[in-house]
Homo-oligomer: A and B are copies of this chain.
Amino acid sequence: MASTSNERLIESAATCMARDGYYQTKISDIVKGAGVSQGTFYWYYKNKEDVVKAIFSEVEQGLLDVVKIGYRQTMGTRESMVASSVGLIASYLRYVREHRDAIRLLTRCRQDADPVVKELANKVVRHVEDAFFHNIQRAKALGMIPEQRSTDVQAALLMSLVDGMTYRWLFTEVDNDKDIGQLSPEALAEEIVSYEFFGMLGAPEEKRQMGET
């Protein structure tokens, strides 16, 4: 509770920037949110760029920790692969839900922030995609996924899927969003992973079911 000025500043900065964007957030908004004076901001940070860096470095590690756990060591059945993927994506979704502000800030800054911050944000996301890439590569090496398709493209497709759905899930206003925002992390993860592995046509058993119907 008796948080330090510094902590209050970081938190307020994340909240404001997630809500209003990097450029639209004024230092005066941040300090108002933190309940400190204008000068105090500059005691801790050189400028806006500086706070964002601090926020990013916190979030990057968290994200990577989650994604790297997905690294598969041994062969398994297709079912176990799918199940562990669902588990991975679900942890990812739980993580981002816990860190909504930082994640939204990250997403926004990839498009709108000054060049240094932009590049930093993209680097974070690139690191996550790299982790996805290695997971796919490993699955191919273990013979669990066919090798025809480019792993680069597949990692990009997966990243697009996860990224886009995360945004829809967390940040799109409900009335526009049908029911996606209501899904549990696990349910959404299941949808994503099903799509990831089987596409719109679904898993064989699903197809079988369909054939039977």
Give me the interface of A with B, judged by CB distance under 8 Å: 21, 23-24, 78, 107-108, 111-112, 122, 126, 136, 145-150, 152-154, 156-161, 163-165, 168, 176, 178-180, 183, 191-192, 194-202, 206-207, 209-210
Give chain A's interface secondary structure class: helix
Partner of A164, one of B126, B163, B192: B163
Across-interface contacts of A199 in B (CB, < 8 A): 194-199
Which residues of chain B have C-beta atoms less than 8 A from A147's C-beta?
210
Which of B122, B136, B159, B210 meets A200, CB within 8 Å?
Answer: B136
Q: Contact between A179 and B202 (Cβ–Cβ < 8 Å)?
A: no
Check if A111 sits within 8 Å of B21, measured CB to CB: yes
Question: Separation in Å of the A45 CB from the closest CB of chain B?
Answer: 17
- Interchain residue pairs A-B with the least CB separation, the first 5: A160-B164, A199-B199, A112-B112, A198-B199, A146-B210
A53 to chain B, nearest CB (A): 19
| Closest chain B CB from A147 CB (angstroms) | 7
Q: How far is the CA of A79 from the CA of B152 in the complex (A)?
A: 25
Query: Contact between B21 and A201 (Cβ–Cβ < 8 Å)?
Result: no
When chains A and B are docked, how far (Å) is the Cα of A212 from the Cα of B163?
35
Known: A126-B176, A199-B199. 6 other contacts (CB 8 A): A21-B112, A111-B111, A146-B202, A157-B195, A164-B164, A196-B199
- Alpha-carbon distance A183/B153, docked complex (angstroms): 10
User: Do residues A209 and B148 form an inter-chain contact, with CB atoms below 8 A?
Assistant: yes
- A–B complex contacts, Cβ < 8 Å, 29 sampled: A21-B111, A108-B112, A111-B111, A122-B176, A126-B176, A136-B200, A145-B200, A146-B201, A146-B207, A146-B209, A147-B210, A148-B202, A149-B191, A149-B202, A150-B179, A152-B178, A152-B179, A156-B164, A156-B165, A156-B178, A157-B161, A157-B165, A160-B160, A160-B161, A164-B164, A194-B199, A196-B199, A196-B200, A197-B199
